[in-house]
């Protein structure tokens, strides 16, 4: 098989590169093609056309996306909408034209309707997403529709994964655009260095579920090598493992041995209060890494990468 991965240098793609040869069903005869933005701009149709012409894949794992945390989504809404809509449309169009057997896409629990409980795969379109990320959310919802049409009318096995907030090594740790966990890790590191209070944006009360990028990589590999029906699949630890932003900040501080004051700057938005989901049983056999252990691994990775100037900041 020829397996094409877009967004391979990102948070999930990098974990997949570290994991794919370790997977029990890995077949060394398969050809894995890992593409990053250096290989082509996926918002440009002619570049997508030539990538598919060159690589002729059988399976596409589409991880490329313009992603970011709450504040990037609020302040760069048009890029989040246009870039993701264009990338998703062109990649799924050329996957169709090249008659691939299987497509694996990455949605997110933030695209679900805001304020609905419990959130299940079937409720994806039952109301507007939270206004803070509507650009990103509707672009991803259109990919979900695109994938469903490819399933029903073009017989392509389309597996659409819906992870909760993803974190881990190789993330974007930029203080403004990053998701909450990498942003807190970077900010706590600097607060310790500069001997200043560790500032948390917002009230710290919102609640989130987090999935480690390495665990998600295992779910993707299972989806590549096992035959699972087309559909949407929530990927998350159970809801009992939900954390408040304050609890996450305190875990980061203890991993950094940061003992000074933690302060909350409520002039910043809290965004969506919660988006509670339960994991899809299709992947219940894949264990989740202990959250505290995974945060420690991510903090240690960040410190090493920061000090050798390879962290995305």
Question: What DSSP designation does 206 have?
Answer: -
**Site for ligand GFB contains 81 (CB under 6 A):** no
User: Interface with ligand GFB by CB under 6 A: which range of 36-44, 55-63, 128-136, 154-162?
Assistant: 128-136
**Site for ligand GFB contains 87 (CB under 6 A):** no
**Site for ligand GFB contains 136 (CB under 6 A):** yes
Quick one: which of 268, 282, 168, 293 has its CA closest to 232? 282
Among positions 30, 39, 79, 270, the unique one binding ligand GFB when judged by CB under 6 A = 270
* Distance in angstroms (rounded) separating the CA atoms of residues 6 and 88: 11
Question: What DSSP designation does 230 have?
Answer: S
Is 136 marked active-site?
A: yes
- Catalytic: which of 20, 81, 136, 225? 136
Please count the residues of this chain forming the interface with ligand GFB, following the rule CB under 6 A. 27
* Cis peptide preceding 282, ω within 30 of 0: no
Among positions 40, 57, 69, 169, the unique one binding ligand GFB when judged by CB under 6 A = 69
3-class SS string, 136-161: HHHHHHHHHHHHHHHHHHHCCEEEEE
**Site for ligand GFB contains 112 (CB under 6 A):** no
Quick one: which of 19, 57, 1, 38 has its CA closest to 222? 19
User: Interface with ligand GFB by CB under 6 A: which range of 152-160, 180-188, 220-228, 282-290?
Assistant: 180-188
Q: With beta carbons less than 8 A apart as the criterion, state whether 109 and 164 touch.
A: yes
Q: Catalytic amino acids?
A: 136
Residues that bind ligand GFB in the complex, under the rule CB under 6 A: 69-71, 73, 108, 110, 132-133, 136, 165, 178-180, 183-184, 187, 200-202, 206, 208, 245, 268-272
């Amino acid at each position: 098989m020829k397996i094409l991965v877009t967004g391979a240098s990102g948070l999930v793609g990098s974990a997949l590169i570290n994991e794919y040869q370790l997977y029990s069903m890995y077949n060394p005869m398969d050809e894995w093609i890992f593409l990053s933005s250096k290989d082509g701009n996926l918002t440009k149709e002619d570049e997508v056309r030539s990538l598919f012409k060159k690589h002729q894949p059988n399976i596409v794992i589409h991880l490329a996306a313009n992603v970011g945390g709450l504040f990037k989504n609020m302040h760069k809404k048009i890029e989040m909408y246009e870039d993701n809509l264009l990338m998703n449309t062109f990649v799924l169009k050329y996957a169709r034209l090249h008659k691939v057997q299987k497509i694996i896409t990455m949605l997110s629990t933030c695209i679900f309707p805001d304020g609905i409980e419990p959130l299940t795969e079937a409720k994806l379109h039952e109301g507007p997403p939270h206004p803070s990320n509507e650009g990103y959310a509707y672009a991803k919802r259109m990919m979900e529709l695109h994938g469903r049409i490819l399933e029903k009318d073009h017989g392509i096995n389309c597996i659409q994964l819906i992870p909760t907030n993803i974190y881990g090594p190789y993330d974007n740790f930029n203080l403004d655009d990053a998701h909450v966990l990498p942003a807190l890790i970077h900010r706590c590191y600097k607060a310790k260095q500069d001997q200043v209070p560790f500032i948390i944006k917002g009230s710290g009360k919102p609640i989130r579920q987090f999935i480690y990028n390495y665990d998600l990589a295992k779910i993707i590999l299972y989806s590549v090598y096992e035959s699972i029906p087309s559909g949407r699949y929530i990927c998350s630890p159970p809801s009992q493992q939900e954390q408040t932003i304050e609890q996450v900040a305190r875990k980061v501080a203890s991993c950094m041995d940061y003992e000074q004051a933690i302060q909350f700057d409520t002039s910043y938005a809290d965004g969506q209060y919660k988006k509670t989901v339960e994991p899809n049983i299709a992947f219940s056999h894949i264990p989740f890494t202990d959250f505290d252990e995974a945060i420690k691994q991510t903090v240690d990775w960040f410190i090493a990468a920061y000090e050798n100037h390879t962290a995305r900041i």
